[in-house]
Amino acid sequence: MKTLVTGGIRSGKSRCAEELLAGSAEVTYIAPGPHWPDDHEWRARVAAHRIRRPAHWQTIEDRDLAGVLTRVTGPALIDCLNTWLTGQLDDLDGWATTGWEAELGDRIDAAVAAWDASPHRLVAVTNEVGLGLVSEHRSGRVFADWLGLLNQRIADVCDEVILVVAGRRLRL
């Protein structure tokens, strides 16, 4: 069973995803986002997630999402796809340049293929970007376009997709 949990920022999607795996004896928590050691607010968000997770869950902080997915040996939770994408765009200097699009497409292909091939119970968290305005800034448009594509690709190979709004869950 593979589940994508989507919704807005602070909608309750991470908590929903964690609850989907709460009964599992062993869970690998995959944190594939960038590390911003000087951002105190970001570190506080990460700490809040760590505190909420069961102590027996294994955490892997690694931006090689496809590689991690091929190595997990049981249920796994990815939190979250949008921070993974942010890290990929950082790596490729995609915020300000062009010419990286094929490489990002290849990385998305590899992540989707690894997700689809995994025999394990998987849950991924992502932000829903399709409900707002088109950004006036190039970086915002790049992010929304690529995250929308990534979300669609993962959703296509999921058994269920859950939209979380104000802590309420709607199965799509």
Q: Transcribe 57-117 into DSSP letters.
A: SEEEE-S-HHHHHHH--S-EEEE-HHHHHHHHHHHHTTTT--S-HHHHHHHHHHHHHHHHH
Task: Classify residue 129 by its DSSP letter.
Answer: -
Q: Does 49 qualify as catalytic in the annotation?
A: yes
pLDDT of residue 41: 81
pLDDT of residue 131: 84
Neighbours of 138 (CB within 10 A): 11
The DSSP-derived string for 2-45 is: EEEEEESTTSSHHHHHHHHTTT-S--EEEE-S---TT-HHHHHH
**Mean of per-residue pLDDT scores for the chain:** 92
**159 in Cβ contact with 124 (< 8 Å):** no
Tokens of 44: 């506080």
Torsion of CA 147, 3, 14, 35, to 10 degrees: -50
Which residues, in sequence order, are bridge partners of residue 60? 30
Domains of the chain are 2-171 (3.40.50.300)
pTM over 0.85: yes
Q: Out of 35, 49, 120, 137, which one is annotated catalytic?
A: 49
Render pLDDT for 132-144 as a digit per residue (tens, 0 to 9). Answer: 888 899 999 999 9
Of the candidates 121, 49, 27, 125, the residue with the CA atom closest to the CA atom of residue 81 = 125
pLDDT of residue 25: 87
CA distance 76 to 24: 10
Q: Is residue 43's pLDDT more than 80? A: no
pLDDT of residue 132: 80
Q: Is residue 13's pLDDT more than 80? A: yes
pLDDT of residue 122: 98
Q: Which residues contact 135 (CB under 8 A, 6 or more apart)?
A: 141, 143, 144
Mean pLDDT, residues 70-97: 95
